[in-house]
Every structure is written in C-alpha cells, then in structure tokens.
Structure 1
Amino acid sequence: MTDKINVGIVGATGYTALELIKLLLRHPNVQITRITSRDESHPHLSDVHTSLRDRLDLRFEHLEMDRFPEGVDCVFCCLPHAASAAVVGQLLDANLKVIDFSADYRLNDVASFETWYGVEHPDAARIGSVAYGIPELFREQIKTSKLVANPGCFPSSAILPLAPLFKNGLVQSSPLIVDSKTGVSGAGRKANLKFHFPECNESITAYGVGTHRHMPEIDQILNRFCGSETEAVFTPHLVPMDRGILSTIYLQRCDGIEEDQLMDCLNEYYRHEPFVRVTSQIPSTKDVSGTNFCDITVRSCRGTTIIVSALDNMIKGASGAAVQNFNVMHGFEETLGLL
C-alpha cells in the first residue's frame, strides 16, 4: 500500500481551491493536512465551502512558515501573482514540492513578467527554469521537478491543439487568432460589479482586448514547438455560464497540407493521453464540464484552418491540471483522483 502524501493548500478560499479539494478528497494517495487563508477568525472549511460539510475537518490557518511545513510534503499554492512567488521560495527551502497556480513562473523571462503584470518579480532567479505544467507536452521535466508552474486556463485551450501541429511543421505561425469564450467563474470569487448576475446575464462581452496577460504565455510556450516566432492575437469573451472555455483558433496550413493531416497528427500525438480527446464532432463546454478532458477538432473554411477546443476552466484549466501534475511529480498513475 502506498503511503499517503500530506498536502497543504495555500490560499484555499477560492473556486479553484474548492475544486482542488474535491479532487484530492477522492485521491487514494492524498491526505489534506493544512489549508490557509488571511481570515483572522480561522473559519472551518465547511463555513467557507459549504458543499464540503462533513467531508474534511480542518480550520483555515494563517501561513506561518515556522509551522506550516510540519506534516506537509507537497503544497498547492493558490495565491495571486506576485503574492505566490513571495512564499514559494520559502516552501521550497523547507524541502516541500510546490505546484503554483499563479502566473509567477509561467513566462520565460523577468522582463516579460514585469511588463505584463506590472510588478517586480519577488523570485526572479527561478524565472525560465521552472517546468510548465502541461504533462501531455512536458511530462519528463515535470517528473523531476520540485516546482511546477500550473498553466493558465486560456493558454491550455490553445497550446494543447496547436503544439503538435507546430512541432510537425503542418501550420504557419502567423497569422494566429485565438478567440475564447469563458464562464464567470474564471474571474474568481472576489466580488466585482461586472460579474454580478444582472450585469453579465443575457450578455456577452469581450475583455482584455490586446492586453490580456495570457497572450505572452501562449506565445512563449508555442515558440518552443515552432520554427518561427508566434504572435497570437488573443481575445477572451465573458459568457453567462458558470464554467467552461471554448476556444476557436484561426490559422493557415503550410503549403500542401490537408485538413485530414492535421486530424491525423493530433490523433497520433494524443493517442495514449487520457485527458485529450480528438473528436470528429464540434466540442462544447457541456461535454467537458466537471472533467479534466480537453476536446479538440479541426475544420477548414475558404482556405483557413479552424480549430475548436473545449475544457473546464476550473478543472483541466486549473485544479485538474494541478492534480495531474501532482501525480506525475510523485510517480502515481496520472488519472488518480481525476477519473
């Protein structure tokens, strides 16, 4: 029988932390031992996440580095950007493995991070050397890492379908348009007027046009698979649903390449991957809701290749990917807690 890994969750009050806890509670090799928040009252888990009543008897505590590492082997860090990197180094110094949900370690260089996120990086020395947490593409690096940068939700929906096509020289790197729709949970749990029900119901709106911070992440990861620099034009849209991402990607095939070759490439690349489903049908967010699947298909129209992908922004786009990374880091079956 495998000994259980003791897990701590830093910043456990949000939606992604809730989904993470649900997944870990059904993982046979995990024991959740610590959860943190900044709440001075130290509430019980079930007072913050009422759906977890009678599931886990823990109270939130403040993150105190002289106490927190006790009884913890691995940490899921669910803090915002910059706040996360400020503590990750201390967690690593305490000999803990860390899966970081923030954007702090996803980009290749400090200058890009500080340009797009507008803050000085608290742990700049590690930038560019941290494994990027898409196991389907970076499994070998993740296996031996103590720190993994969990990917962004929108980038996952674009990188998973595009990386194999770029790697095999089947599509052109420019122009590249990524048009994504997402549910309101992507904005997090903190109150914000534009995400109130009367504001977003029965309405679709674009946001972060030309300025969204996931754009450099898409570019920098895809550049590892492409023979030339990519510059994705990425536009997200808020739609009135709880969860899910549907991305429609427009680009050009290389000369002499047909649509069926793209499907063949994706089918072959992901043939043995349990969480990527290449399908002849058009994916929808309902098909993947509450799962760690990413569904992908390819179409053509008037010489333009159209790729459609769907995933759950809180599972494959966040907490499910984190558990998948956890499994890879610890040598477990990759589907544990996820199927």
Structure 2
Amino acid sequence: MVDVAIIGGTGYGAIELLRFLHNHPYVQVKKVISHSNSGTELAEVYPHVVDIIDIKMADLNIDALAQEVELVFFATPSNVSKNVIPALVDKGVRCIDLSGDFRLRDGKQYQTYYGEEIASQEYIEKAVYGLPEVNKEAIKQASILANPGCYPTATTLGLIPAIEKELVDRSSIIIDAKTGVSGAGRSLSLNVHFSEMNENFKAYKIGVHKHIPEIEQMLSERANEDMQVIFTPHIVPMTRGIMSTIYVDMKDNYSTKQLVDTYQTYYQDHPFIRVRKEGVFPSTKEVYGSNYCDIGLYADERTGKLIIVSVIDNLVKGASGQAVQNMNIMYGWEEATGLDQLPIYP
C-alpha cells in the first residue's frame, strides 16, 4: 500500500483525486493539505463526502510529510508547487504536479505566459511530461511528474498520430477549443458568475493562453522540429468537458477510412483512447466523469483538410484522472487501476 498526500485540498482537482483514490486498491490517502482550511474536516468543504471520507485538512510541514508519505499530488494554482517540490524530492518523495510549474522547459516562455520565474533548472530537467500515450517509459522512472493541462491533453492526443505519420502540413494547424466552467477552478470570478455565463458563449485569452506553449512544445518534440499553432479557447455554460476541434491541411488525398484506421492502429494499446468509426463524432457527455479521450476524424476531400474532434472531461483525463493514470505507471500497476469505469450518462 502506497501512502500519498494531496496538497491544495479544496479545489476541484483535489476532490476528483479523492474520488478516484478512495477505492484505489493500492493507495491510502494519509494527508490533505490546505493552508486556508487547516483544521477543517473535508466534509465541511465538500458535504457530498460526509460519512465516506474522514479527513481533517492540515498545514504543510515538509519534514513531517516526507516521513509519512512516499507520493504527493499537487492540486495547487500555478507558481506554488515549484517552491515545495524540490524539498520533497530531495527527501525521496515522488511528486505529481497538476499545475503548470514543471511543464515548460523554456524559462522565457514560462515568464511570458505564467508571469513568474520558472523553477530551478535542476528540477525542470528532472521533470517528466506525463502524457501516458506517448511518454510511458519515461513516466515509469519519474520523481517529478508534470501532469499535462486539459487543453493540451485533448489537442495533442488528437494531433500526434497525424504529426508523427507525416500526414498533414505541420504549419497549418488551427485549434478551436471549448471548455466547461469548472476549468476556471472553484475560486470566485466575475467571468464565471451565473448571470455572466448562463446562456452565453465566449472566446477568451486569444493568443495569450498559457497552454499555447505547452501544446507547441509537445508537438515540436513529436515532430522533431519547431511548430506553432493557432489556438482559440472558448468557455461554454456547462460544468465539465473539453471539445477540441482541429483543422489541418492534409499532405495527400487521404480518405476518412484511411485516417481512422491509422489512428486506431496508433492507439490500439492505449486503454483510454477511443477512436470513433467513420462518420461518428464524440460529444463531451460521452466522456463525462471518465478518463477517456474520444476522437473523431473527417477527411474533407473538397478542401483538403483533416478535421479532428477530440473530447475529454477536463477534470479527469484533463487533470486528476490522468494524474492517477500516471501514478499507476510510476508504480508498475495496471494503467487503468482505479479508473476503469463507465462515463456518467446522461
């Protein structure tokens, strides 16, 4: 049994981690750390866990924590984990970071998109980017696991087979992505106030979203050349879900069937990727509450473009579920342990 802790205990990422870890056969959650709610029972913040999860949140004490657990999940805002993870790793504790502090390798890009200095280069070099479908071998050895962002997960999983197989023009990628309101977190914000968001649909952070360099970094690594994308995020009045609709020029006159066959072959050994049959496209409701990424494809022979529709639950495959998937890989357990459940429908 592996003893774990969660730092950042009151956000949606933390409560989703607890949902999956509660019945995980090989894990015991020993600590939930929350400075703002230290001494408070978790059920007072999230009443739906009353009589199910009996945990009193605590302040962070690095030395004590390192004696109690061997793995720590960070469900914290950006620019927090980079100040804590080095001390834990130096004490032999493995860390899975759900924030963006260790995803980017370029300090200038981190400064531009996150507004602060990047973590120490020594620890950036130790960090492994945790997209299991393409980075599994490195994940097994990770001491610092940088869990991918939600938009980058949906987008890169939709694009990587076409990029690696050189089926598309790598300079022509346009990403039109939508997220549910939970992607903004639990803190109060006018942007997601009910009367502002209800019956509304808006683009935001065009050209400056912090997931742009993460998407480009991952795609560039798979392509072995620098890549840039056009990325436009939108927020829609639903609780969960991401749909990333991607448009890219094909290099040849491929049929939809050829592309579907290529993607199905590429992802055949990956339990959480479901490539839809020709003519079938996924919706966010079909992955709700699950760790699946569903992908639909259409080769538009009239325009020569490939249209990719990729959907995930932003709180699960886009955050906590993928973190648990990465933990399973790090410890040599079956990848789907604790995650193999049906999506919630309707």
Same fold (TM over 0.5): yes
The 5-angstrom pairing of residues 255-274 of structure 1 reads 255-274=252-271
The 5-angstrom pairing of residues 108-119 of structure 1 reads 108-119=105-116
Q: Tell me how far 1:330 sits from its aligned partner.
A: 0.4
Task: Pick one of 237, 247, 257 that aligns with 1:240.
Answer: 237
- Give the TM-score of the pair, scaled to structure 1: 0.96
Deviates more, 1:329-338 or 1:301-310: 301-310
> What corresponds to 1:32 in structure 2?
29
1:161 touches 1:266 (CA, 8 Å); kept in 2? no
Q: Tell me how far 1:319 sits from its aligned partner.
A: 0.3
The 5-angstrom pairing of residues 118-137 of structure 1 reads 118-137=115-134
After superposition, the Cα gap between the structure-2 partners of 1:45 and 1:186, relative to the gap in structure 1 and judged at 3 Å, is: same
Task: Pick one of 86, 89, 93 that aligns with 2:90.
Answer: 93
Deviates more, 1:22-31 or 1:104-113: 104-113
Question: What number of residue pairs does the alignment pair up?
Answer: 336
Tell me, yes or no, if structure 1 residue 319 matches structure 2 residue 320: yes
Q: In angstroms, what is the RMSD of aligned CA positions?
A: 1.3
DSSP 3-state at the match of 1:305: strand
1:109 touches 1:127 (CA, 8 Å); kept in 2? no
Post-superposition Cα deviations, 1:77-129, rounded to whole Å, max 9, x if no partner, equal 11122211100101101211110011111112222211211101242332244
Q: Tell me how far 1:227 sits from its aligned partner.
A: 4.5
1:173 touches 1:229 (CA, 8 Å); kept in 2? no
- Aligned-partner Cα distance in 1 for 2:7–2:67: 14
Tell me, yes or no, if structure 1 residue 303 matches structure 2 residue 289: no
Q: Tell me how far 1:318 sits from its aligned partner.
A: 0.2
- Aligned-partner Cα distance in 1 for 2:171–2:257: 21
- Aligned-partner Cα distance in 2 for 1:225–1:257: 21
Q: Tell me how far 1:152 sits from its aligned partner.
A: 0.3
> What corresponds to 2:170 in structure 1?
173
- Aligned-partner Cα distance in 1 for 2:281–2:149: 23
1:76 touches 1:100 (CA, 8 Å); kept in 2? yes
The 5-angstrom pairing of residues 265-304 of structure 1 reads 265-280=262-277, 281-301=280-300, 302-304=303-305
Post-superposition Cα deviations, 1:264-290, rounded to whole Å, max 9, x if no partner, equal 221001112110000021110000000
> What corresponds to 1:154 in structure 2?
151
- Aligned-partner Cα distance in 2 for 1:101–1:163: 22
Q: Which amino acid aligns with 1:252?
A: D
- Aligned-partner Cα distance in 2 for 1:255–1:108: 34
Deviates more, 1:42-51 or 1:128-137: 128-137
Q: Tell me how far 1:156 sits from its aligned partner.
A: 0.4
Q: Tell me how far 1:256 sits from its aligned partner.
A: 4.7
- Aligned-partner Cα distance in 2 for 1:174–1:321: 29
- Aligned-partner Cα distance in 2 for 1:52–1:167: 44
Task: Pick one of 57, 64, 75 that aligns with 1:60.
Answer: 57
- Aligned-partner Cα distance in 1 for 2:89–2:122: 13
Q: Which amino acid aligns with 1:303?
A: G
- Give the TM-score of the pair, scaled to structure 2: 0.94
Post-superposition Cα deviations, 1:115-163, rounded to whole Å, max 9, x if no partner, equal 2111012423322442111111100000111111000000001111211
1:193 touches 1:199 (CA, 8 Å); kept in 2? yes
- Aligned-partner Cα distance in 2 for 1:42–1:104: 27
After superposition, the Cα gap between the structure-2 partners of 1:215 and 1:41, relative to the gap in structure 1 and judged at 3 Å, is: closer
2:253 touches 2:304 (CA, 8 Å); kept in 1? no
- Aligned-partner Cα distance in 1 for 2:286–2:253: 33
- Aligned-partner Cα distance in 1 for 2:193–2:47: 20
Q: Tell me how far 1:164 sits from its aligned partner.
A: 1.6
DSSP 3-state at the match of 2:212: helix
After superposition, the Cα gap between the structure-2 partners of 1:27 and 1:128, relative to the gap in structure 1 and judged at 3 Å, is: same
Q: Tell me how far 1:210 sits from its aligned partner.
A: 0.8
DSSP 3-state at the match of 1:103: coil
- Aligned-partner Cα distance in 1 for 2:254–2:126: 35
- Aligned-partner Cα distance in 1 for 2:168–2:125: 26
Post-superposition Cα deviations, 1:231-277, rounded to whole Å, max 9, x if no partner, equal 11111111000000011000011135443332222100111211000
Residue identity (%): 43
DSSP 3-state at the match of 1:107: coil
> What corresponds to 2:45 in structure 1?
48
Q: Tell me how far 1:194 sits from its aligned partner.
A: 1.6
> What corresponds to 2:136 in structure 1?
139
Q: Which amino acid aligns with 2:332?
A: G
Q: Which amino acid aligns with 2:6?
A: I
- Aligned-partner Cα distance in 2 for 1:40–1:198: 28
> Structure 1: 5+ residue runs without aligned partners?
none
2:162 touches 2:168 (CA, 8 Å); kept in 1? yes
Task: Pick one of 172, 176, 179 that aligns with 1:182.
Answer: 179
DSSP 3-state at the match of 1:209: coil
After superposition, the Cα gap between the structure-2 partners of 1:74 and 1:227, relative to the gap in structure 1 and judged at 3 Å, is: closer
Q: Which amino acid aligns with 2:45?
A: V
The 5-angstrom pairing of residues 181-260 of structure 1 reads 181-260=178-257
